[in-house]
Amino acid sequence: MRCWVVEAITDEGRMVLAECPDPVPGPGELVVRVEAAGVNFADTLMVRGRYQRKPALPFVPGIEVSGEVVAAGPGCARVPGDRVCASVPTGGFAELALVPDAAATVIPAGVPSDAGLVLLGVNYPTAWYALHRRAAIRPGETVLVHAAAGGVGSASVQIALAAGCRVIATAGSPAKLDVCRRLGAEVAVSYADPGWVEAIRAATGGAGADVIVDPVGGRVGVDSLRALTWHGRLLVVGFAGGAAPELPANRLLLKEGTVLGVFWGEVKNRDPGLLREVQDAILALHAEARLDPLIGARLPLEDAPAALAQLAGRQSVGKLLLTPRRRDRRTP
């Protein structure tokens, strides 16, 4: 099979497109012919050795895949022919991926594999868990979503709207602000504008947002506390801006605010039952046509470095997917 391999950690995150042996499933493992592999901000860090989890070298990056099961080891509930998606520790940027059977979710009939990956992989579960379980959003609340044209951001906009919340969005360019409005945000503001906090206050009658979803961090994260209402909740989802914010405790005191960390990747490992609950809730909303995954681009496997560069440079919208071409081959 062809796959991208990180042979050594470099500042630029160098990868090599290589021909590697096909994976062979052990007990409780599946081999999936990859139809779509998600490109995530965590991948941009992992290939440069800057992620909190550091795989042993060499490794194949990519932490979520969808496709058809082509081989199953002993003790698996899924069988060849099933279409599944799964989050994996590594191995997604490949034509074939080794997937734990326990981590695989069957994609319902009628849902394309790429949409199934976006809905059930990283972005939508992260957003649903953050908003419903961590922040406990209520109908009528105002939710401010930073980087709302991105993967987690666009999912957060849709999930908040489906819950009956009012959504205000921020993004970094006029084109992305247009995307936010098309997603349903009532107000869209550039966080590159020094007056973005005042714009949020003006849009909320001076009160501020009840809940803020922050996958950006840095200065945006710090200033978010000024845009929070009394008893507001700030969700720390990630640091796409490059730095973890040092949040001033005095602003939390003055608002009696709460900062909530969101680490969905660890939560789903600790509570597999919650994973299924979250995925079922997302699929129910999708069946009601209340969620429509925003796929920014579908790129060939060969373009993985360009996809990572787009994401790291914050040039993408929605979800970026790699779609390996199917080759005539003998399955494992």
In the predicted structure, residue 202 carries a pLDDT above the cut 50: yes
CA torsion angle 134 139 226 130 (round to 10): 20
Q: pLDDT class for 332, splitting at 50, 70, 90?
A: very low
Comparing 31 with 52, the larger pLDDT belongs to: 31
Q: What global pTM score does this model have?
A: 0.92
Could you check whether 2-121+294-322 and 123-265 share the same CATH topology?
A: no
Residue-level pLDDT at 242: 76
CATH fold, domain 2-121+294-322, is Quinone Oxidoreductase; Chain A, domain 1 (3.90.180)
DSSP string computed for 172-185: SSHHHHHHHHHHT-
Percent of the chain with pLDDT over 70: 98
Question: 327 falls in which pLDDT band (50, 70, 90)?
Answer: low
Q: What is the mean pLDDT of residues 87-108?
A: 96
Query: Is the pLDDT at 46 greater than 80, yes or no?
Result: yes
pLDDT of residue 330: 44
Residue 69's closest CA among 44, 99, 42, 40?
99
Considering the domain 123-265 in this protein, what is its CATH number? 3.40.50.720
pLDDT above 90 covers a percentage of the chain that reads 92
pLDDT at 272: 87
Determine which helix (DSSP H) or strand (DSSP E) holds 253, and give its type and residue range: helix 249-255
What are the Cα distances from residue 25, in Å, to 28, 37, 189, 251?
Answer: 8, 19, 49, 52
Mean pLDDT, the chain, rounded, equals 95
Q: What confidence tens digit (pLDDT) does each residue in 191-201 have?
A: 999 999 999 99
Tokens of 294: 């925003």
Query: Taking 70 as the threshold, does the pLDDT of residue 329 lie above it?
Result: no
∠ CA 18-22-28 to the nearest 5 degrees?
A: 135
Q: What residue ranges do the domains of the chain occupy?
A: 2-121+294-322, 123-265
Contacts of 252 (CB under 8 A, 6+ apart): 225, 258, 259
